Amino acid sequence: MNQMKKVYTPSLPEALILTILIVGLISFSIIKFSAAPQIPILLSIFVLIIFGLIKKISFKDLETGMVIGAQNGLSAVFLFFLIGILIAAWMISGTIPTLIYGGFHIVTQHFFYAIVFVLTAIVGTSIGSSLTTSATLGVAFIGIASALDASLAITAGAIVSGAFFGDKMSPLSDTTNIASSIMKVDLFEHIRNMAWTTIPAFIISCIGYVILSFNISSKNMTRLSGFQDSLVHTHLIHWYSLLPIVLLGIFAYKKISAFISLAFNSFFAIILSYFHHPISGTELFQVLFNGYVSHTGNKMIDSLLTRGGLNSMMFTMSLVILALCMAGLTLTLGIIPVLLQSLSRGLNKIGTVIMSAAFTAIGVNVFIGEQYLSVILTGEAFQQSFARLGLANKNLSRVLEDAGAVVNPLVPWSVCGVFLTKVLGVGTLHYLPFSFFCLLSPILTIFFGFTGKTLTIKETEKISA
pLDDT in tens, 195-214: 999 999 999 999 999 999 88
- The reported pLDDT for the residue numbered 463 is 40
Length of the chain: 465
pLDDT of 264: 93
Identity of residue 242: L
Model pLDDT, residue 464:
40
Distances (CA, A) of 67 to 111, 115, 316, 317: 52, 47, 18, 15
Rg (CA), the chain: 22
Contacts of 70 (CB under 8 A, 6+ apart): 321, 324, 325, 328
Q: What is the pLDDT of residue 460?
A: 39
What is the rounded CA–CA span in Å between residue 115 and residue 54?
58
Q: Are 310 and 288 in contact (CB under 8 A)?
A: yes
DSSP 299: H
Give pTM, 2 decimals.
0.73
Question: What CA–CA distance (Å, rounded) separates 163 from 127?
Answer: 10
Q: Could you give the CA distance from residue 188 to residue 200 in angstroms, rounded to a whole number? A: 19
The per-residue pLDDT for 217 is: 60
The neighbouring-strand residues paired with 391 are 457
* Burial letters 316-334, b for 16+ CB under 10 A, else e: bbbbbbbbbbbbbbbbbbb
The ranges of the chain with pLDDT < 50 are 1-2, 459-465
Residues forming a β-bridge with 457: 391
Which residues, listed in sequence order, are joined to residue 8 by a DSSP beta bridge? none
pLDDT value of residue 93: 93
Per-residue pLDDT, 400: 94
